[in-house]
């Protein structure tokens, strides 16, 4: 908690106290109050009690230790790619994905004055999503733990030569002046979040919905192993919407794949595909089935 800038601490403490009183209603997020993840929590679950956490690990730990009923974590952005290394964090947490949420992202420049500015503080994702604006104005991007935390830091520093890039609500929370709005490079800038809980949803409970299923797998270390593994889904007509590789350990021989598919266990074609995948793989670990929040394709 005390890693947050001073202007954010009072809000963090107040929100943490509310969450502690009703942990089942709490939804943990990474960042200071006013971050996009805070917005996502409120929009995904309007009756929830958002719980600010300094890091992604802190947010997951809050759920695993019962201080929050769920966590909402950004995993990918339409402009700038991967946000959180959920494929590393989630398997170790013991949590399951129980939902997803898509949040349109708009970035606002805020400061204690009108500029000109020499540096802009924000999360690396936000800096990457506003590169054209920063370059056009000769502003040096400086990474910070989260967008709203950057706004609180700029308020704390009270330096007229620096600004923050954060959601508009952060300017209101921390008493900053709005200098420019909608400075993102793309008007359709969107971040996908996943919702995590201690208990997985029963795939059968999703029978009346279009479902997504997320899992990780490690292929056998033989020629064409990935080709054969992916063929499991092609031959059974299962739509794979995400496939991302990452290394397991330092040998660089064991490649893991983080995968999203449309469908759920219990659907015959999905069951056949997963059975064939298991035959072609060293390991398949299910991370959760959940309702599709937005159509793919």
User: Tens of pLDDT along the chain (297 residues)?
Assistant: 458 999 999 999 999 999 999 999 999 999 999 999 999 999 999 999 999 999 999 999 999 999 999 999 999 988 878 887 777 788 788 999 999 999 999 999 999 999 999 999 999 999 999 999 999 999 999 999 899 999 999 999 999 999 999 999 999 999 999 999 999 999 899 999 999 999 999 999 999 999 999 999 998 888 898 999 999 999 999 999 999 988 877 667 668 899 999 999 999 999 999 999 999 999 999 999 999 999 986
Q: Is 193 in the active site?
A: yes
Instruction: Verify whether residue 108 is a known catalytic residue.
Output: no
Q: Name the residue among 231, 241, 233 with its Cα closest to residue 211.
A: 241
Domain-wise residue ranges, the chain: 6-104+190-197, 108-181, 203-291
Is the fold of 108-181 the same as that of 203-291?
A: no
- Candidate list 4, 29, 193, 217, residue with the active-site label: 193
Least Cα distance to 168 among 156, 190, 184 occurs for 184
Predicted TM-score (pTM) of the model is 0.92
The domain defined by 203-291 carries CATH number 3.30.70.260 = yes
The CATH code for residues 108-181 is 3.40.190.10
CA 164, 169, 170, 172 torsion-angle sign: positive
Q: Which of 108, 112, 191, 214 is catalytic?
A: 191
- For helices 86-93 and 56-64, the axis angle rounded to 10 degrees is 20
- How is domain 6-104+190-197 classified at the CATH fold level? D-Maltodextrin-Binding Protein; domain 2 (3.40.190)
């Amino acid at each position: 908690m005390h890693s947050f800038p001073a202007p954010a601490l009072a809000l963090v403490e107040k929100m943490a106290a509310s969450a502690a009183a009703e942990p089942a209603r709490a939804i943990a997020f990474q960042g200071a109050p006013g971050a996009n993840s805070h917005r996502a929590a409120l929009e995904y679950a309007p009756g929830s009690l958002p719980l600010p956490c300094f890091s992604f690990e802190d947010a997951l730990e809050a759920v695993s230790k019962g201080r929050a009923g769920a966590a909402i974590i950004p995993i990918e952005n339409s402009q700038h790619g991967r946000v959180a290394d959920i494929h590393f964090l989630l398997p170790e947490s013991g949590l399951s994905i129980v939902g997803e949420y898509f949040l349109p992202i708009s970035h606002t420049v805020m400061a204690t004055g009108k500029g000109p500015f020499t540096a802009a503080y924000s999360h690396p994702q936000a800096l990457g999503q506003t590169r054209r604006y920063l370059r056009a104005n000769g502003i040096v991007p400086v990474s910070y733990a989260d967008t709203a935390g950057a706004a609180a830091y700029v308020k704390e520093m009270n330096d007229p030569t620096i600004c923050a890039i954060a959601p508009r609500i952060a300017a209101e929370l921390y008493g900053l002046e709005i200098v420019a709005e909608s400075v993102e490079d793309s008007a359709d800038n969107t971040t996908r979040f996943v919702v995590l809980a201690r208990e997985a949803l029963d795939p059968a409970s999703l029978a009346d919905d279009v479902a997504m299923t997320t899992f990780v797998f490690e292929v056998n270390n033989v020629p064409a192993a990935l080709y054969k593994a992916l063929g499991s889904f092609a031959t059974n007509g299962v739509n794979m919407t995400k496939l991302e590789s990452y290394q397991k350990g330092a040998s660089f021989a064991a490649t893991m794949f983080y995968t999203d598919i449309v469908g759920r266990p219990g659907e015959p074609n999905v069951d056949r595909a997963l059975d064939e995948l298991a035959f072609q793989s060293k390991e398949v670990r299910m991370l959760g089935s959940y309702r599709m929040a937005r159509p793919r394709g």
